[in-house]
């Protein structure tokens, strides 16, 4: 299963926005993304950055109104066919990890099985007198 996520956003602010501490007019100029995958507890990931240049002709979304889905759509549109290449990289990493040899314990150094003795019917807590109470506690 392949999953895309946004890890961080880099934005620019005008001097008036910085002075007013109002970053809602921030313009996203760089996005850090990650694509990851998992198959039977084997995971892999590829990360990268996508640069953006603000186009005043496009619809502007205030910074705090942005959603991850919206920013991912920008990233995917900017990547074009490269998106599939990144997903393929993740899948290839998973397949490589599956093919890697694993270290197993030496067969002649296996721990001995633990033997648990079952109590016989005569065993009692008080040493055999039939009084199983904890005596005065």
Domain ranges, ordered by start, for the chain: 2-99
CA 49 to CA 35: how far, in whole Å? Answer: 11
In angstroms, rounded to a whole number, what is the distance separating the alpha carbons of residues 50 and 117? Answer: 64
Backbone angles phi, psi at 27, to 5 degrees: -110, 120
Q: What backbone phi and psi angles, to 5 degrees, belong to 93?
A: -60, -40
Q: Which residues contact 71 (CB under 8 A, 6 or more apart)?
A: 6, 9, 28, 31
Tokens of 97: 């990890």
* pTM summary value: 0.68
**pLDDT tens digit at each of 137 positions of the chain:** 999 999 999 998 865 544 455 566 788 999 999 999 999 999 999 999 999 998 888 888 888 899 999 999 999 999 999 999 999 999 999 999 999 988 888 888 877 777 777 776 665 555 555 555 555 55
């Amino acid at each position: 299963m392949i999953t895309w996520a946004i890890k961080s956003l880099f934005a620019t602010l005008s001097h008036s926005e910085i002075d007013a501490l109002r970053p809602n007019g921030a313009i996203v100029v760089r996005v850090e993304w990650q694509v990851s995958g998992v198959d039977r507890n084997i995971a892999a990931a590829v990360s990268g950055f996508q640069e953006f240049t603000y186009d005043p002709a496009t619809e502007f979304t205030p910074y705090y109104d942005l959603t991850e889905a919206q920013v991912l759509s920008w990233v995917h549109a900017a990547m074009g066919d490269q998106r599939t290449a990144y997903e393929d990289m993740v899948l290839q990493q998973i397949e490589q990890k599956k093919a890697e040899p694993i270290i197993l314990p030496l067969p002649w150094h296996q721990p001995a099985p633990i033997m648990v003795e079952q109590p016989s019917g005569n065993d009692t807590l008080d040493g055999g007198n039939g009084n199983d109470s904890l005596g005065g506690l």
